[in-house]
Chain A
Amino acid sequence: MPSVEASGLRREFKAKDAPVVALDGVTLKVGQGEVFGVLGPNGAGKTTMIRILSTLLLPTGGWAKVMGHDVEHEPEKVRKVINMASGAEKAGYDFISAKRNLWFFSQLYGIPSEKAEKKIAELSETLGLTKYLDRKFYALSTGYRQRATIARAFVNDPRVVFLDEPTIGLDVMTARSIREFLQGEARRNGRTIILASHNMAEVDAICDRVAIIDKGRILAEGTPEELKRSLGVPALVMEVSPPREGFETLSRIAGVKGFTSSTEEERGLCTVQVVVENDAAARAAEDAIRSEGLKVVASWRKQATLEEVFVALVGQGFKEREEEGAG
Chain B
Amino acid sequence: MKARALVRLWSIFGEPLWIVVSMGFPVLSSLAFFLLYYSMGAVSYVGFAVLGGVMVSFWGNVLWSMASQFNWDKQEGLFEIYLTSPASISAILIGMSVGGIIGTLPSAAIVTAFGWTLISVLQLPVPVVGSWLAVALTFALTLASLYAMGMTLSSLYLVYGREAESMNNVLQEPVSLLSGMYFPSVGTFSPFPSAVQIVASLIPLTIGMNALRLALFSTPGADTLALVFPSLAILAAMAVVFMAVSAYSLKALEYKGRKDGTISVRIR
CB neighbours (8 Å) of A58 from chain B are 258-259
Is the C-beta of A57 less than 8 angstroms from some C-beta in chain B?
yes
Q: Specify which of A51, A82, A108 is in contact with B87 (CB 8 Å cutoff).
A: A108
Q: What residues on A are CB-neighbors of B14 within 8 Å?
A: 95-96, 136
User: Looking at the complex, which of A84-92, A208-216, A263-271, A280-288 is the stretch in contact with chain B?
Assistant: A84-92
Contacts of A82 in B (CB 8 A): 84
Indicate whether B80 reaches chain A with its CB closer than 8 angstroms.
Answer: yes
Binary flags per residue of B80-98, CB closer than 8 Å to A gives 1, else 0:
1111111100001000000
A84 CB contacts on chain B under 8 angstroms: 80-81, 84
Does chain B have a CB within 8 A of A247? Answer: no
Alpha-carbon distance A11/B84, docked complex (angstroms):
19
Contact present for A80 and B86 (CB under 8 Å): yes
Chain A residues near B7: list those with CB within 8 A. 93, 96, 100, 104
Known contacts A95-B11, A96-B14; is-contact A88 B268 (Cβ 8 Å)? yes
Instruction: Report the interface size class on chain B.
Output: 20 to 34
* Contact indicator A110/B86 (Cβ below 8 Å): yes
The reply on A16 being an interface residue by CB < 8 A is no
Residue in A57, A88, A92 whose Cβ sees the most chain B Cβ within 10 Å: A57
CB-CB contacts of A66-99 with B at 8 A, as 1s and 0s? Answer: 0000000000100110111010111111111000
A91 CB contacts on chain B under 8 angstroms:
77-78, 81
Contact A56 to B84, CB < 8 A, known contacts A89-B78, A90-B76? yes
Query: What's the minimum C-beta distance from A302 to chain B, rounded to whole angstroms?
Result: 36
Among B6, B83, B86, max chain A CB count under 10 A is at B86
In the complex, B261 has a CB within 8 A of chain A: yes
Complex Cα–Cα for A41 and B125 (A):
74
Contacts of A181 in B (CB 8 A): none
- Most chain A C-beta atoms within 10 Å of own C-beta, residue among B15, B83, B260, B261: B261
Q: How far is the CB of A192 from chain B (nearest CB, A)?
A: 15
User: Closest residue of chain A to B263, judged by CB?
Assistant: A56
The digit string for B10-33, where 1 denotes a CB below 8 A from any CB of A, is 110011000000000000000000
Name A108's contact: one of B10, B81, B257, B260 (CB within 8 Å): B81
Alpha-carbon separation in the docked complex, A154 to B3 (Å): 18
Known contacts: A58-B258, A108-B85, A109-B85. The answer to whether A96 contacts B263 by CB under 8 A is no
Q: B213 contacts the other chain (Cβ, under 8 Å)?
A: no
Cross-chain contact A89 with B84 (CB below 8 angstroms)? no
The minimal Cβ–Cβ distance linking B261 to chain A, given in whole angstroms, is: 5
* Closest Cβ neighbor of A55 among chain B residues: B84
Name 6 extra pairs, CB < 8 A, besides A105-B81, A156-B85: A90-B77, A93-B7, A95-B10, A96-B7, A96-B10, A110-B87
8 contacts between A and B (CB under 8 A): A13-B261, A58-B259, A76-B86, A80-B86, A83-B85, A95-B10, A96-B14, A108-B85
